[in-house]
Amino acid sequence: MAHLKVNYFSNALLKDCQMDVLLPQKTSDTPNWNKEVLNDLPVIYLMHGMSDDNTAWLRKTRLERLIKSTPVAVILPNADLSWYSDTSYGMNYYDDIAVELPKVIQQFFPQISTKREKNFLVGTSMGGYGAYKIALSTNNFSYAASLSGAFNPRGTNKILDSFRSQAYWNGVINKRDDFANSPDNLKHLVEQKMALHEQFPNFYAWCGKQDFLYDDNLDFVNFLKQRNIPITDKFTNGKHDWYYWDKFLEDVLEWLPISYLPEERLC
C-alpha cells in the first residue's frame, strides 16, 4: 500500500485540513493487479473517535498490513472533537466530511470510485456514530460499520457525558434539549429516511458487553431490527479499547463487499 499524507483546504471549514490516504500499489507481491483492478477502486472512509485523530487507525491497528493484498482505498479524515456535526459555533465538520470530502477525493484521486455500491464508512466510538450518521443522512454509501459506536449523545449516558463540559456538548450536538427532533439523532435520521422511502445501507455493529456504550448499542440495534433495516450485529466480551477494535476490524473487512484477501498465517 502507498501511504499519503494530504493537506487540503476545506471550503466548509474555511481552513487547512489533513487526511491520510492508503492506496493499493502494484508490486511483485500483487502481479495480477492490472489497470482494470486499480481503476474504479472501492473506498473505505475510516472515522476516528473522540480522543483520536486521523492517524489513530494507522498507529493503533493492523490496518495497513491487513489490506496489503486487497485492492481498496482507505481515507482517514480528521474530524477533531466535532461529532461529525455542523456545530452551533460555526464549524461545519459534517459538511466538510460528508459533503465536501468525497468531491475532494474525486478531484485528487480519480481512480477511486464514486459509485454508492463501492463507498463504505467504518468508525469507532464517535466515529461509529459518524459513520452511521453520514450513511443515514446521505445516499452515497452502501455499507456502514461501527465498533463501539457512541450512538446516543443526548446526555443520558453519564460516563460519555462526563468526558466534556455541558458547554461543549451543547456546541456539538444540535438541539440537545429537543433531541427527538435533532439532526444529530440517529433514530430521527432513520425515521426521515423511512418516510422518504430511501434505500438503507447495510449496517454492521460490534460492541463489548463490558463497554459503557453497550446498552446504547443494544438499544439502537434493536431499533433497526424492529424496522427490518439490515444489520449484522455482534456482542461479545470486550471493553472500549483498541485491542477489540483492532481484532474486529478484520471481521469488518470480511463483511464488506471487497476482494479482501487475508494474510497467510501458519499458526
pLDDT at 2: 95
> Whole-model pTM above 0.85?
yes
The pLDDT assigned to 31 comes to 82
Based on the structure, what is the number of domains in the chain? 1
pLDDT for residue 110: 96
Supply the CATH number for residue 232's domain: 3.40.50.1820
Question: What integer pLDDT is reported at residue 237 of this predicted model?
Answer: 98
Which pLDDT score is estimated for 209?
98
Evaluate whether residue 151 is within a structural domain. Answer: yes
Residue 187 domain-assigned? yes
Q: For residue 261, is it within any domain? A: no
Q: Give per-residue pLDDT as tens, 145-154.
A: 999 999 999 9
CA atoms within 13 A on the CB side of 43: 26
- What pLDDT sits at residue 177? 87
Residue 84: per-residue pLDDT: 97
Is 267 part of a structural domain of the chain? Answer: no
Q: How many of the other CB atoms lie within 10 Å of CB of 192?
A: 14
Position 15 in a domain: yes
Contact 4, 23 (CB under 8 A): yes
In a domain, 240, yes or no: yes
* Confidence (pLDDT) at 266: 82
Place of cell 464508512: 121
Q: Is residue 176 part of a domain?
A: yes
Structural domain of 247: 2-255
d(CA 176, CA 184): 9
- Whether 217 is covered by a domain: the verdict is yes
**Which residues are bridge partners to 7 per DSSP?**
18
Q: What is the pLDDT along the chain (267 residues), one digit of tens a residue?
A: 999 999 999 999 999 999 999 999 988 888 889 888 899 999 999 999 999 999 999 999 999 999 999 999 999 999 999 999 999 999 999 999 999 999 999 999 999 999 999 999 999 999 999 999 999 999 999 999 999 999 999 989 999 999 999 999 999 999 888 999 999 999 999 999 999 999 999 999 999 999 999 999 999 999 999 999 999 999 999 999 999 999 999 999 999 999 999 988 887
